[in-house]
Amino acid sequence: MKKILITGGAGFIGSHLCKRLLDEGNEIICLDNFFTGSKENILDLMDNPFFEVVRHDVEEPILLEVDEIYNLACPASPIHYQFDPVKTIRTSVMGAINMLDIAKRCKAKILQASTSEVYGDPEVHPQNEEYRGNVNPIGIRACYDEGKRCAETLFFDYHREYNVDIKVIRIFNTYGPNMAINDGRVVSNFIIQALQNQDITIYGDGSQTRSFQYVDDLIDGMTKMMASSETGPINLGNPDEFTILELAKKVIQLTNSKSKIVFKPLPQDDPKQRKPDITKAKKALNWKPTVKLEEGLVKTIEYFNQQLKDKQ
Ligand code: NAD
Ligand code: UDP
């Protein structure tokens, strides 16, 4: 039985990871400050004696003895990471240092949940791991993008300087059950709007693209990465690319919604296109996503439908 620390474990991705690793027979410490995560996401796990919740902020050091660390603590939705940008940078940078210090002391393996945002508004398409990105360092997304870039730097410096066993994954847009109703990212926004027959809010003209990965595929990739001898960085995402307008239409169709599409201003530095090159993950991890957008959307719609009913 491995003892595994998951920071951000009460969040969207973290809660799925807690469940998977607990089901596989590990002991889990779920560390979270509950900024965007919630107890509801991990309620089902609370009765398990091998699941422990620690309310803590990764900005502060903490003494724990573990075999593996998945470092996910960080708000991921633009509205939440821009709410207190300085706090977001501190979370990424101080959080990385504090978790790397645990890994160094315990000789634990440590995986960093990095992001496709390190590529910024990319001039290379699709994005492979060699591309160094096009991030505006003083824009409103920089607190997240540069925080994550600095965390990657720290991971590689701890690896070179202290021989820490690191794994860096770059996650592309991921969606699924356990996203918060107020998350603010595109998939959950569109589904919630459609289920309530409210206007679907497209930012810009909807021609920007994203490639959406269902959360189960990501969890497979993350655990494969942890078990591998790779340091990364490795992209984990679904290369099927859609415009935001196509996504809106698909959600309306799958929910049989009466919603109309409305167009709102495009936020500053919003990337125009995004699609992962997953050649490296396929080769090194023998991993590729298997869930098609429509299939994943149906499951996510089911989840939000239930959530909305429970809240009535
Ligand atoms: P989320 O907001 O649902 O989860 C983040 C979790 O971290 C929440 O439970 C939150 O309460 C916790 N947290 C935030 N700041 C903290 C702090 N200072 N100390 C302790 N806990 C803190 O987002 P998510 O989509 O589950 O993202 C998880 C990780 O994956 C993040 O690091 C994010 O950057 C990364 N990621 C996600 C995506 C995606 O599409 N979902 C894409 C790229 C990268
Ligand atoms: N977006 C949108 N309507 C929304 C939320 C987001 O049109 O209600 C757009 C957003 O401007 C971006 C894309 O959808 O172009 C993906 O946004 P999200 O916040 O999900 O992720 P990110 O921009 O970080 O990839």
Q: What is the SS3 assignment for 65?
A: coil
- Cα(79) to centroid of ligand 2, in Å? 10
Beta bridge partners of 27: 3
Query: How far apart are the C-alpha atoms of 135 and 120, rounded to whole Å?
Result: 4
Q: Which of 144, 158, 175, 214 is catalytic?
A: 144
The pTM score is 0.98
Active site residue 144: yes
Q: SS3 breakdown of the chain: % helix, strand, coil, rounded to 5? A: 40, 20, 40
Please give the pLDDT value at position 310. 92
Query: On the CB side of 40, how many CA atoms lie within 13 Å of its CA?
Result: 10
Beta bridge partners of 51: 28
- Cα(32) to centroid of ligand 1, in Å? 10
CA distance between the termini of the chain: 41
> At which residue do the structure tokens 């125009």 appear?
272
Angle at 199 between CA 197 and CA 200, to 5 degrees: 105
* Tens-place pLDDT, residues 207-232: 999 999 999 999 999 999 999 999 99
How large is the C-alpha radius of gyration of the chain? 19
* DSSP-assigned letters across all residues of 244-298: HHHHHHHHHHHHT--PPEEEEPPPTT--S---B--HHHHHHH-------HHHHHH
Atom of ligand 1 nearest to the CA of 35: 11
Q: What does DSSP assign to residue 302?
A: H
Contact in structure between 183 and 12 (CB atoms under 8 Å): yes
The parent domain of residue 306 ranges over 3-310
Distances from the Cα of 253 to the Cα of 185, 205, 250, 301, angstroms? 19, 19, 5, 12
Q: Which tokens is 144 given? A: 């997240």
- Of the pLDDT bands very low, low, confident and very high (cuts 50, 70, 90), residue 126 is very high
Which H or E element spans position 158?
helix 142-162
**The domain that contains 274 carries what CATH number?**
3.40.50.720
Please give the pLDDT value at position 311. 87
Beta bridge partners of 181: none
* Tens-place pLDDT, residues 76-124: 999 999 999 999 999 999 999 999 999 999 999 999 999 999 999 999 9
CB of 174 within 6 A of ligand 1: the answer is: yes
Mean of the pLDDT values across residues 289-298? Answer: 98
Mean pLDDT of the chain: 98
Q: What percent of the chain has pLDDT over 90?
A: 99
Query: How far apart are the C-alpha atoms of 224 and 126, rounded to whole Å?
Result: 23
CB of 211 within 6 A of ligand 1: the answer is: no
Tally of structural domains, the chain: 1
Which H or E element spans position 6?
strand 3-7
- Of the pLDDT bands very low, low, confident and very high (cuts 50, 70, 90), residue 312 is confident
Q: Is the pLDDT of residue 201 over 90?
A: yes
Mean of the pLDDT values across residues 54-74? Answer: 98
- Cα(130) to centroid of ligand 2, in Å? 25
